[in-house]
Structure 1
Amino acid sequence: MTAATNGIDLTGLTAGPAQTWGAIRLVPLLRPSPITDLRLHARLYDPDELSVVHVEPRRAYVSYIPHAYVATWTTDATPAAAYGTQLHDPADTRAPSGIRLTFRRRLARREDRQRLRFLPLHLAMEGYLALQFGGPPIAWQEWTRDAVTRGLSPRVEAGYTGATIVGLDDALRVFEIHPDQCGMLLYVADALAAAFVVPHPADYRALHPTLLQDFYGELLFHYAHLYPAVPDFSSRLDDTRIASIADLRAQLAQVDAEWRTFHTGLADGLLAAGRLTVTPVQRMGRFTLARFLPAFDPDADNHIGETITDETGRLAYLKTFRLSAAQTRRGHLLSQLAASDWDLDATATALGTARDSLVQRLDRAGFGHLLRPDIIDACRRRARELRTKPVAGRGGTA
C-alpha cells in the first residue's frame, strides 16, 4: 500500500565537514548510534553480463547491474544477446559475438528468513519506469491501439555510471572516511547528485567504492564537465570573543551548527521535497524496504530512491537518483494524464494549456508514438498555419 510523506527525514544523522575535489563536494553523514541489527554488504556481478529481472509474468526490467546489496538482520546453457549489428557469413558456423544474459527473479528477493538480496537504485528506477505503465484505461479515440493494449511498453531511461563523472573516481579515492560515517551527500557543482545512507560505519566502508558503479542523472554528468571546480567554504573563529576554553567550545559549536544549516539548505531539494509517494516492497523483521517517487514538480529538484526504515520510521538505508528536467517532465505529464483518465481535453484544462500544446508536449517528451499519427499531423499543420498567418495591418508574414 502506497503512502505519502513530506521529504526525507535524516533524524539521527549529522553532517560532518565537507570535502571538495574539483566539481565534487562530499558531505559525510555521521551516525553517533549505529544500527547494529541490520547490516548491508555488496554482492558483485560479472561486469560482462546484462541482467534481465522478471518483475511480473509479462513484464521484465533489463539493465546493466554491476552489484546487488544483501541485507541481513537478526530474528550450463548460458543465454546470450547479440552485441551491436554484425555481418555474418552464412558459411561461418561460429556463433556471433554476444554478451551474456543473466536472468534474475525479482528486484528484491528473500534468500532465507533473515537475508534479502536487492538491486540498489534499480528498485527505484523500475518504480519510475512503471509509472502509468499500463497506458490509457479508456480507449479514447486519440490513442493508438498499441497504447491501449500494450501501454508504455517498452519504457527506456538512461543514466551515467559514476566512472564517467569527471573527478568522482579521484574524489572517492582521496576523501577521508570518518569513524562514525554512515552515509554521504554527493554534490556535483553544488547540485545534489545523490544521497547514500547505511546502518553501520563498517557497512559504509565496505560499500564506499560501489558509489563509482552506481548510475547518476545526465545533469550531473554535464555539470562535472562545465564546472571544473567549486569553492571550498571555510569557517573562521572570532578570536575577539575567545577568552577561555568555554568560549572556544562555544565558537566551535556555533561553527558546527552553521555547517549543518548550510548543508541542509543545499539538500533542500531532497529533504524538503514536499509530497513523496512511498511504496513498501519487502518487510524484513522490524525493518521495511520501500521505494519512493517525487511529486514531479517541474520547478523543483526531483529525486527517486529507496529506503529501509525501522518500526519507528528511523532511516537505516537510503539511496537516491536525481531525475533530469526531461525525466521530470515525463513523470509530470504521465501523472497529469492519469489524474484525468488520459482524456486529452481534461488534461489540457488541468495544465492550463491548449489541447494542441499538450499534444506537442507529449510528442517532445517521447510519448508521440502513443497518439494516432493524424492527431499529431493535424496539430503540426495548425501550428505551421499559425506561424505563417499574416499580421493585421502589415505585409509579409508573422
Structure 2
Amino acid sequence: MLVRTFGWSFAITVAGLAFAGVLWGWQGLAVVAILSVLEISLSFDNAVINAGILRKLNAFWQKIFLTVGVLIAVFGMRLVFPVVIVAITAKIGPIEAVKVAVNDPDRYQHLVTSAHPAIAAFGGVFLLMIFLDFLFEDRDLHWLAWLERPLAKVGKLDTLSVIVALVALLVTATTVATSVPLQGGGTADKSATVLLAGVAGLVTYLVVGGVSGFFEGRLEEDGDEAAADADGAEETAPARRGGASALGLAGKAAFFMFLYLEVIDASFSFDGVIGAFAITNDIFMMALGLGIGAMYIRSLTVFLVRKGTLDDYVYLEHGAHYAIGALAVILLVTIKHEVNEVVTGLVGVVLILASFLSSVVRNRRLGEGSEQLEEQAEIPSGV
C-alpha cells in the first residue's frame, strides 16, 4: 500500500531531482531538494486537515484530488500564482510578468515580497476561521478539555468565530500593518491593504465552506430518508428517484468540498512560496522543489484516509487544527516581522507529534481497561 500510495511521489522526486541536476548542476539539485523538504515540513498539518475532509469523498473524487488537484497545487499555486501577483502588483500584463520572472529574478522577488502583506492577511484570516470554527464546535471528544469545553459552550453563538476573526484582523491592520518595513529601507502603512485582503479571506471561507457544508447536509438528509424508505417498504419508483437525487447531491457536495480543499491548500502554500525566496529567486527551481513537496503532502493525505489513521489516532485532527491556528497567527505577524521558516515548520510538527502521542496514550489506556474488564468477566462469581 505504501508503494501504491507514494509511488507517483517517489517517481516524480527521482525525475525532478535528475532534471534539476542536468539543467542546473549539483547546486540546483541541492536547492530543489531543500525546497521539497521545506514544503513537506510546513504542510504536514495540511495533510491531516485534508484527510479529514477527503475521507468523506468517494474514490473518484480522491483520484481527482490526486490528479487535477496536484496540477492546481504545483502549476497553479507554485508557478502561476506568484506570476499573477507580480502582474497585479506591478500593473503589467501576464506575459511581461513572466519575462520579469525569467530575465530579472531580483525584481520578481521584490514584487512578490511587496505583495506579502496582502497574501498573509488573506491566508491568515482564512486559516484562522478554520481553527476558530473547530475550537468553538461542540464535540464529544476533547484533547485539551480544560480549554475546549468552555470554548464549545461559548461557541453556541453562531457568529462568534466571525467576530473573533474580524477583531483579530482589525487589531492587525491598526497595529502590525501601520509600519511595514520596505526592502529599500523605510516603512509603509499597509492598513487598508491588509484590511481588504483579510475581509476577502473571510468572505472566501464563508462562501466556499458554507456552500460545501450546505450540500453535505442535504446529502446526509437525503441519504437518511432513502435508507428509511428502503427499510420500511419495497423498492419503488419514488425510492429510486430519491437515490438518484442523493447521487446528484453527492456530486455537488464533492465538487464544493474539492474547491474547499484547494482553497485550504492555497492558504497553506502562501508561507512556502514566500519562504522559498530565502533559498532561491529562480521561479522554475521554486516551482519544481515546492511541487515535489506538494506531491508528498497529497500522497500522505490519501495514505491517512486509506489507513484510517484519523480514526485510530483521534487527537491528530485536534493537533492539526491547533497547528493551523498557530500558522494563522504567524502569517499575520509576518506582515511586519520576519519569522524563520524553521520556526513555522517546527510549531506544526511539535503540535502534530504531541497530539499523536496523546492518542497513543489514550489507545493504550483504553486497551488496558478492556483487558481488565475481560479478566473480571472470566472470574467465577463468588470467588
TM-score higher than 0.5 here? no
Flag the structure with higher strand content. Answer: 1
Flag the structure with higher helix content. Answer: 2
- Name the TM-score class by shorter chain: under 0.3
- Greater relative contact order (CA < 8 Å, ≥ 6 in sequence): 2
Larger Rg: 1
